[in-house]
Structure 1
Amino acid sequence: MNNIVTSADGKKRCKWCESAPDFLKYHDKEWGFPVRDDYRLFEKLSLEGFQSGLSWRTILAKRESFRTAFHQFDFNKIARFTQKDVARLLKDEGIVRHKGKIEAVINNAKKAQEIAERHGSLAAFIWSFEPDKKKLARPQTASTSAASMALSKELKKQGWKFVGPTTVYAFMQAMGLINDHAEGCIIRAKAEAKRRSFKKP
């Protein structure tokens, strides 16, 4: 139970959501709820890549600026970015100005297009890696899994960058491919209910 905290409203939640003021809303409304929208899935994979070496708090604070800079993470638009766009983004103080990560998003956008063409959508491909619930570790006790390693391996094979197993596991947690809310967290049951009613793409 050491990954549970009692919030100011008297309700029990995952301990991490108390570590920054903006985490509470993200925890209660987004984290762990299943997502099938291609652009949201691509956004999260991209932002997890930007987070590498940084904190999620830094990325979350800049998320709206990232969305503006990357056209709401429409990978069809990003795939057309040129070096002129890279130069523009490197001057944008609202985002993380890391050339390698910016170029990775552009590269990955082209790969996302290819996946969407082959599988009908990026979501259909991503959700094909949803793990068996019986094979999951106890909530918040792992940083990788067989499923995250498999998805990471396949993405890398297809030419994606900044998609290591740990990055992909964090992505799976956030996008609801697994419900990793701690046992006793008030949001765990809500996330699970959404997962039960969720129609896989």
Structure 2
Amino acid sequence: MTQRASAALNPAAVYRSPLSVEDYLAARMISSPICLYDCEVPVDGATAIVVSAAETVPDLRAPVRIEAMAGVVEDRPSWEQWRDLTRVGHGTAAAMWARTDLRPADVDTAQLYDGFTIEVVWWLEALGFCGTGEAGDYVDGGERIALGGELPLNTWGGQLSGGRLHAAFGHTVEAVRQLRGEAGNRQVAGAEVAAVTNVGGYEAGAALLTRR
């Protein structure tokens, strides 16, 4: 519901109409406990991300810095073989945090992979925004992860409402827009640090982007 509310502020989002708790609970089941609105919305589209050494672009208008990033291949090489799906991003998150002095409390907005709703839950726990098993309480009511909350989450609507490009390009583009102050009426005030993740499990990746 929170991501749909953010999508309403994104003119490029696929689903912009309000989604109530009642709408969500009435949706048809796809594979229990995942219902229709727990699934990403594939779209045709394109985006471009230019990565360069900092010294080659001294005059850029609003460069965004990669503070830390990680991708860890761990456990078994197929989703259905994983022994504990609740830990699909923990190794990657730990490797990323080991490469920076920043900590979860420093993050101003999180753009977390949401191929399915449950993946956002896993990433919130893996990145240390809350403890393992605590994400339900962490997001309860939606205020903490809404615009203006403690951790504005998937402020463009995410893949659940904004639409899915491959991997997490939509999340990365939104993080860059937020750090540049270019997100319009969904802008997170004073955003300086953004967390971005993609997929999970053996494909998991995470990054911290900053405008410093």
Bin of the TM-score, shorter chain as denominator length? under 0.3
Which is strand-richer, 1 or 2? Answer: 2
TM-score by length of 2: 0.24
Which is helix-richer, 1 or 2? Answer: 1
